[in-house]
């Protein structure tokens, strides 16, 4: 449990501009339809008592957050959804808007249990430390929904956690991680805000096929469901769901790359990303076979998220604020992944689809990728990967050193894996996922056994 110390609103400084509106692109609008909130939580080892937390940490974090929001105004604003008009949704900040921030104290949770990679964690154990999003407000058929909430929790004499709940419509991992690292840098360096300023010009994101209009019209058809779900945080108790983090070392990654290059010499795009995803996907499918008999002819699907900023013509700046993620779908039969060649076939499938789609811009621009995701997302055989080693939250140093651990706090057993750099060794990668306890045990054994024989 966590006891609330203070609930407050933090606004940008008064010197910020009075109003900023950003129209949603097709890449943003699809997240209104999907209505996904993304929870991230960072843990810092810090020997500090409650008195020091109240007198030093809280005021400093409030001040540095306010200064950071000067450059990230949309995060203090709202999604504006005009359900009953011909207008389009937008992100809107006006003077007076702010971010909800909760400061709390852990009552009975072991800090070191939450940050350890040596065991799995009950997903529900993270829930008290993830903020709740404020309810949306309605005015004449227009809905105003906040996009960000923050919670900072003290674990007395052991550490601090900072958690973020963001609506995906406001930005992808590139945007949110950029904000977190900017806040950390400013908090550490005492008002020295020399970081990459977000790029807000949406006019350079072309939509020649009218995807935004189509997605918005489809979203409005389902607005009752969205209105009832938009405030729900991904925090639902389930004692049977555990989260595990598995490290794959640089040496093992190189052995996997060498193995597939030897067995598939003509395969292009053999990278640390593709072999790690291929290995994790094959282990995951095999873990299901350990518990039940699966039809060997079922198709299995793997969704790779791709940052499309650099692939636009002209390219978008890396600091572009918003969403610019697409998914490429690899597929193969179940029987292929559970056999001795499972890793080979999984990696080959992923590498080939990335190479193919990277050379087919029309596939992205005309929305075919969305249709493909929609066709497989509810099959029960779809696994996706979130995050990337490129978005390194272990670099987010608020002045207390790098995080001891960070988590995506996905709820339930939906098959979403996260991929990030390792906290310990350069070149190592971490894979995290949530599964039932039985299946997690099977996955852990298969994952370890496969690496041991390389």
What's residue 415's pLDDT?
83
C-alpha distances (whole Å) from 63 to each of 12, 91, 294 are 9, 24, 55
CATH number at residue 441: 3.30.559.10
Which residue segment(s) compose the domain that 365 sits in? Answer: 241-452
* 433: phi then psi, degrees, rounded to nearest 5: -160, 160
d(CA 18, CA 16): 7
- Rounded to an integer, the average pLDDT of 251-262 is 97
The total of other beta-carbon atoms located within 10 Å of residue 312's CB is: 16
151-160, 188-197, 201-210, 358-367: range with lowest mean pLDDT = 188-197
- 168 labelled catalytic: yes
The confidence score (pLDDT) of residue 411 equals 54
The CA radius of gyration of the chain, in Å to the nearest whole number, is: 22
* 225 and 272 together in one domain: no
- Confidence tier at 313 by pLDDT (50, 70, 90): confident
Let me know how long the chain is: 454
| Mean pLDDT, residues 406-428 | 82
Q: 236 lies in a domain?
A: no
Beta pairing partners, 45: 159
Lowest average pLDDT, out of 88-102, 133-147, 152-166, 343-357, goes to 133-147
- Do 215 and 321 fall within a single domain? no
Can you give the pLDDT at residue 236?
Answer: 44
pLDDT of 349 over the 60 cut: yes
pLDDT at 344: 97
What is the tens place of the pLDDT at every residue in 165-181? Answer: 999 999 999 999 999 99
Looking at residue 237, its pLDDT comes to 45
Is there a single domain that holds both residue 151 and residue 57? Answer: yes
Q: Compute how many other C-beta atoms are within 10 angstroms of the C-beta atom of residue 65.
A: 24
Q: How far is CA 175 from the centre of its chain?
A: 11
Q: Are 196 and 277 in the same domain?
A: no
H helices, E strands: number in the chain: 14, 18
DSSP string for 361-402: HHHHHTTHHHHHHHHHTTSS-EEEEE--TTS-GGG--SSS-S
For all residues of the chain together, what is the average pLDDT?
A: 92
Judge if 84 and 149 occupy the same domain.
yes
Quick check: is 420 in a domain?
A: yes
pTM of the model: 0.94
Whether 97 is covered by a domain: the verdict is: yes
Does 229 have pLDDT greater than 50?
Answer: no
How far is CA 307 from each of CA 93, 134, 317, 406, rounded to the nearest angstrom? 26, 29, 12, 21
Whether residue 179 is found in the same domain as residue 245: no
Q: Contact 149/230 with Cβ under 8 angstroms? A: no
Overall average pLDDT of the 148-163 stretch = 98
416 pLDDT above the threshold of 80: yes
Position 426 scores a pLDDT of: 87
Burial class (CB in 10 A: 0-12, 13-18, 19+), 366: middle
Is the pLDDT at 6 greater than 60, yes or no? yes
Residue 102 lies in a domain: yes
Question: What's the average model confidence in pLDDT over 361-382?
Answer: 93
Q: Which helix (H) or strand (E) holds 406?
A: strand 405-408
Q: What is the pLDDT of residue 238?
A: 58
Which of 175, 196, 229 marks a domain boundary?
A: 229
Whether residue 67 lies inside any domain: the answer is yes
71 or 117, greater pLDDT: 71
Give me the pLDDT at residue 33, please.
86
Model pLDDT, residue 233: 41
Average pLDDT (335-363) is: 96
Is 302 inside any structural domain? yes
Q: Give the DSSP letter string of 40-95.
A: EEEEEE----HHHIIIIIHHHHHHHHHHHHTT-GGGGSEEEEETTSS---EEEEET
Q: What per-residue confidence (pLDDT) applies to 139?
A: 85
Residue 102: pLDDT band (50, 70, 90) is very high
* Token couple for 94: 């006006």
Indicate if 54 and 193 belong to the same structural domain. yes
Residue 206, class by beta-carbon neighbours within 10 Å (0-12 exposed, 13-18 middle, 19+ buried)?
exposed
**Predicted local distance difference test score (pLDDT) of residue 227:** 46
Task: Answer yes or no: is 235 within a domain.
Answer: no
Point out the catalytic residue in the list 37, 121, 158, 168. 168
Residue ending a domain, choose from 205, 229, 253: 229
What contacts 105, CB < 8 A, 6 or more positions away? 2, 3, 5, 50, 53, 153, 154, 156
Distance CA 136, CA 148 (A): 12
For the question of residue 360 being annotated catalytic, the response is no
In a domain, 399, yes or no: yes
Nearest to 207 by CA among 26, 86, 424, 361: 26
| Whether residues 213 and 302 fall in one domain | no
Domain count, the chain: 2
Domain boundary among 229, 250, 265: 229
């Amino acid at each position: 449990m966590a006891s609330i110390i203070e609930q407050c609103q933090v606004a940008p400084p008064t010197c910020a501009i009075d109003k900023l509106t950003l129209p949603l692109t097709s890449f943003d609008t699809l997240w209104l339809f999907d209505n996904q909130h993304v929870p991230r939580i960072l843990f810092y080892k810090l020997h500090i008592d409650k008195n020091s937390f109240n007198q030093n940490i809280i005021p400093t974090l409030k001040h540095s957050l306010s200064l950071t929001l000067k450059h990230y105004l949309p995060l203090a604003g709202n999604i504006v959804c005009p359900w009953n008009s011909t207008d389009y949704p937008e992100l809107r900040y006006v003077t007076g808007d702010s971010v909800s921030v909760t400061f709390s104290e852990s009552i009975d949770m072991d800090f070191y249990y939450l940050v350890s990679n040596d065991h799995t964690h009950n997903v529900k154990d993270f829930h008290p430390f993830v903020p709740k999003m404020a309810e949306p407000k309605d005015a004449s058929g227009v809905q105003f929904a906040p996009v960000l909430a923050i919670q900072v929790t003290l674990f007395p004499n052991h550490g601090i956690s900072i958690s973020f709940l963001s609506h995906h419509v406001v930005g992808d991992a590139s945007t949110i991680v950029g904000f977190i690292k900017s806040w950390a840098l400013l908090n550490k360096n005492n008002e020295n805000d020399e970081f990459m300023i977000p790029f807000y010009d949406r006019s350079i994101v072309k939509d020649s096929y009218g995807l935004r209009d189509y997605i918005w019209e489809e979203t409005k058809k389902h607005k009752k469901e969205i209105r009832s779900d938009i405030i729900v945080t991904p925090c639902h108790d389930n004692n049977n769901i555990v989260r595990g983090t598995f490290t794959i070392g640089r040496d093992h990654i190189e052995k996997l790359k060498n193995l597939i290059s030897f067995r598939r010499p003509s395969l292009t795009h053999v990278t640390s990303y593709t072999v790690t995803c291929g290995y994790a996907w094959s282990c995951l499918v095999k873990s299901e076979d350990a518990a039940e008999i699966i039809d060997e002819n079922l198709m299995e699907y793997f969704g790779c998220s791709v940052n499309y900023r650099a692939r636009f013509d002209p390219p978008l700046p890396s600091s572009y604020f918003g969403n610019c993620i697409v998914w490429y779908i690899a597929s193969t039969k179940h029987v292929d992944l559970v056999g001795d060649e499972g890793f080979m076939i999984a990696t080959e499938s992923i590498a080939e689809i990335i190479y193919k789609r990277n050379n087919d811009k029309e596939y992205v621009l005309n929305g075919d990728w969305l249709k493909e995701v929609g066709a497989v997302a509810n099959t029960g055989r779809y696994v996706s990967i979130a995050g990337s080693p490129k978005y390194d939250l272990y670099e987010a140093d608020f002045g207390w050193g790098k995080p001891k651990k960070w988590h995506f706090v996905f709820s339930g057993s939906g098959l979403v894996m996260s991929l990030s750099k390792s906290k310990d060794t350069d070149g190592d990668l971490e894979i995290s996922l949530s599964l039932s306890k039985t299946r997690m045990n099977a996955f852990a054994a298969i994952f370890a056994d496969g690496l041991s024989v390389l």
